[in-house]
Amino acid sequence: MKRLLAGYLSWLLAFLSAPFFPSHSYAIAVATQIEDNCKDTSQWTPRVAKAYTKALMKIEYPHWNRSEWSALAKLWGKESGWKHTADNPESSAYGIAQVLNTQPGTPAPLQIERGLAYIKHRYEKPSVAWAHWRSKGWY
């Protein structure tokens, strides 16, 4: 009985959370597939960049919840429109995350990884970086 109940509850939790965040195995599959194809920059649309970022967050920063994803989506939407070729003519910032000293042509997955690492190092989580951006206009 206990085993049956545990199975039912795990299925129910998986079913209810599926529309909100990708499963761990799905996140790994998407991240691997996209990373394998990252040399073809024509595939890096803002939608693909968001999917890769969401999958990477699930793997690398599992303690960041949906509200952190929402803050990050807004932050990088304002910074670059999620375009991997976004260039800031007033600084050395480039790419999706607009991290300083990023060279043009840096692969999108590397831009995303560096951007997430920067946020973790400097602000601890995307919601704090987004709050800073709203007050200062930069992060």
Domain containing 72 equals 2-136
What element of type H or E holds 108? helix 108-123
Q: Answer positive or negative: Cα dihedral of 106, 73, 51, 126.
A: positive
- Euclidean distance between CA atoms 15 and 96, whole angstroms: 32
The number of distinct structural domains making up the chain is 1
Both tokens of residue 33?
A: 């597939």
Give me the tens of pLDDT residue by residue for the chain, a chain 139 residues long.
767 666 666 676 666 665 555 666 776 776 666 656 555 666 889 999 999 999 999 999 999 999 999 999 999 999 999 999 999 999 999 999 999 999 999 999 999 999 999 999 999 999 999 999 999 999 9
In eight-state DSSP terms, residue 129 is H
SS3 127: helix
